[in-house]
Amino acid sequence: MYGKNLIDGQWRDGNGTTVTHNPSDLNEQVGTYAVADRSMAAQAIESARKAAPRWAAGNIQQRADLLRGVGDAIGARAEEIGLLLSREEGKTRVEGFAEAKRAAQVFYFFAGETLRQNGLFLPGLRDGHNVIVSREPLGVVSLITPWNFPIAVPAWKTAAALAYGNTVVLKPSEFAPGCSVLLARILTEAGLPDGVFNLVMGNGRELGPTLINGADGVSFTGATDTGRAVLQQAALSMTKTQLELGGKNPLVVLDDADLDQAVQIALDGCFFQTGQRCTATSRLIVTRKIHDAFVDALAARVRALRVGHALDEGTQLGPVATAPQLQKDLMFIERANNDGVECVAGGTRVECRTPGLYLAPTLFIGTHNAMHLNQHEVFGPVVGVTRVDDFEEALAVATDHELALTAGICTNDLRTAERFRHGVRAGMVMVNTPTAGVAYHAPFGGRKPSGFGGRELGAGAVEFFTEGKTSYIHHGVI
């Protein structure tokens, strides 16, 4: 695949190219992409600015129909998109396909939202007055997206932005831009007017300031430190900012949990998608009586996971997506080993039939919350178990972290589940279900510093992607 930037309806070469490689097989080149420079980023913003008034004023039924058509096209090409995703990012074939399907559904959802931009009507306090609160598009939005969900996150930011009448400049991760190029082609083929959606590829540090300061809003998903830099930059122009950042998501397993179910929930939350989800379970907090049985059963399941080429039949865990991420995962393992905790599964790289970035899913036991492993986001298949005495201690440990994205609990006691749901500091709570794997029709996001500036998805997206307008009407009728 050769992918170009899309600016004002023109496919544009850039200032050189970058190449991506398949993390399942580093010998395989996946894509070559034109790299945009700052002046092209500025042109993309300008093109979105020019297209904004007409798009904002456009007929909402037509806009809804267009977004539905985009959903149809993504769905029809889900196999192709999923395959590219698996080759470029390393998700298994099943995971890649599911992500592409999810992107289609997101477009259907936001096609509907186009028609549901509800306002508020208030009788005025003064005789003969009404007050109307209505919504307007924010304007030009820059969307900066990560490598770990190369189609779902660009889709859910883009669909929401367009549905609420904004124009877009998307900058995907340099590590996996291919799906965004396909998305840009699909949007163009669906008949989106020139300039309503623009794509620029390249380095965030290089393009970020232009994209952030030139836009009315910036929506970013990625690491917490980068999010801080985005926010600092946005402060210069007061650009409205939405940040979806890191997690250190706890899963509490209580003595009364269904053991088999809890093991499955932990396995999925910690390791599927190679642990590369901001919502992945990254601290297991287990009460005393169930601890040994849980750890034994989970370790056996983790050791049995089949790591391999993302496209091989039977692979359950693809490779780590990027070489820097693999280095980071290995550093976490080394630090945990140096901290003297016991590794009961994995802990090393794995050799497969092709040269790839393979890491065995890794489980440590005997950890505690203050350890390096439990303090920082790994973003890989490396997790520690902390043993606690009871629910109170579990809740305290779960909440004892500044990151607050998702938090889960496995218990059969509804009252305890409710105490956890109510008491834990997190943006999302999962009861008897994995911390990762969210629904597109529900608001998504975390509390600071895991998230900032409002929720994405579901009924949450409208808050960021629109501005409210409060109008006082003196109609004079009493």
Judged by the rule CB under 6 A, the positions of this chain that interact with ligand UN1 are 146, 148-149, 153, 221, 244, 277-279, 436-438
CB of 321 to ligand UN1, least distance (A): 12
Q: Indicate the residue among 108 and 440 with the shorter CB distance to ligand UN1.
A: 440
Q: What is the rounded radius of gyration, in angstroms, for the C-alpha atoms of the chain? A: 23
Q: Indicate the residue among 153 and 311 with the shorter CB distance to ligand UN1.
A: 153
Backbone phi, psi, residue 11, to 5°? -85, 120
Q: Indicate the residue among 86 and 279 with the shorter CB distance to ligand UN1.
A: 279
Between CA 386 and CA 292 the distance in angstroms is: 11
Residues 6+ apart with CB under 8 A from 32: 1, 2, 3, 17, 18, 19
Residues 6+ apart with CB under 8 A from 62: none
Q: Indicate the residue among 281 and 416 with the shorter CB distance to ligand UN1.
A: 281
CB of 292 to ligand UN1, least distance (A): 29
**Quick one: CA torsion of 269, 422, 419, 296, rounded to 10 degrees?**
10
Active-site residue identified among 179, 270, 278, 410: 278
CB of 94 to ligand UN1, least distance (A): 14
Helices and strands (H, E) in the chain, number of each type: 15, 21
What 8-state DSSP symbol labels residue 148? S
Q: Where are the beta strands (DSSP E) in 95-247?
A: 120-123, 129-137, 140-144, 167-171, 197-199, 217-221, 240-244
CB of 247 to ligand UN1, least distance (A): 8
Q: Indicate the residue among 420 and 444 with the shorter CB distance to ligand UN1.
A: 444
Q: Indicate the residue among 43 and 282 with the shorter CB distance to ligand UN1.
A: 282
CB of 22 to ligand UN1, least distance (A): 21
Cβ atoms of 161 and 107 closer than 8 Å: no
- Tokens standing for 289? 């009586």
CB of 408 to ligand UN1, least distance (A): 12
The CA–CA distances, whole Å, from 333 to 321, 336, 357, 383 equal 17, 5, 15, 9
Cβ atoms of 50 and 9 closer than 8 Å: no
Examine the residue annotation and report whether 179 is marked as an active-site residue of this protein: no
Bridge partners (DSSP) of residue 404 are 447
Cβ atoms of 266 and 284 closer than 8 Å: yes
CB of 62 to ligand UN1, least distance (A): 30
Q: Indicate the residue among 262 and 428 with the shorter CB distance to ligand UN1.
A: 428
Between CA 197 and CA 160 the distance in angstroms is: 12
Residues 6+ apart with CB under 8 A from 272: 95, 316, 317, 436
Q: Which residues are catalytic?
A: 278
